[in-house]
Structure 1
């Protein structure tokens, strides 16, 4: 196959799977936001909107497939070196772990706390992966420079949310400062989480 044609096929595969990952992840986040907005979780009696919780969970499970494929294809397309492939493997394991622990939770074999711990850990790795992958893609001329900047901004926002949360915890329970810091952490972290599927959609629409 001609090299130019092969590159075009590779780019198209990245676009398809990155787009799928972005759309499924965004749908999962919308379902989660509506769940907290409409279903008032952890309250009794159970809300008629409580089905939005399992919808979010199953979308997270289904989304693991395009997520893993998109990461592998993008790493391959940017001609990743050994260290980037190692990070890609770790990120793929994290995505698979989210799906597995979520299925276990839905089956009653794992708790919400376990799912939250796995999801947060895998998300941190995924954000770091996006920052490095975006930089490699930019350097290779495969995406605009702002794609890499976008990924770095997501990482900074996630770190900032973590710092606000830790400082809030140290501020002491019940204080107004703690409440403010927790709200700030939630807002910044939520924006970072929302930015992740948007980043994948941006990759899908700009990769060349």
Structure 2
């Protein structure tokens, strides 16, 4: 019974849609969408809309999907060793700010360590060499943040340091490959 009623209502709606009579919905038949346009203009818009629907119906699903394609990624990716290193510097700055607020920090991941009345810091897990120096001193956490920010600026303008970051990253990746367990293919 319910299916019969739904079928009947859908037929009535389809017929009214074809004729353009939407008075049953509280909208005038001249302007069913309430845009203040004439019946001729409304019919033109409706015809354009239906043509667009027909074009979409004739396109394959693949063509419809490809209409939403995004451009390819730029040449520099998030996996670029220098970009990854900059994110790590940002993380170290955040760790220093947290330590300044009195929050406990993980000394294992921090590039700065307490040294007497001040701090010692290195730039990077393995410590980049700026000239002959690998460790730097800072009297406070504010200076640690300042040194990390300065190191980022120096790296941005120095191709040899960028090459050193890439070399260190590759060497670490090669070392880590040896420690990974091989995938079991018997399963």
State the structure with more CA Rg. Answer: 2
TM-score > 0.5 by shorter chain: no
- By percentage of residues, which structure has more helix? 1
Class of the TM-score when normalised by the shorter of the 2 chains: under 0.3
Structure showing greater relative contact order (alpha-carbon pairs closer than 8 Å, 6 or more residues apart): 1
TM-score, scaled relative to structure 1: 0.24
TM-score, scaled relative to structure 2: 0.26
- By percentage of residues, which structure has more strand? 2
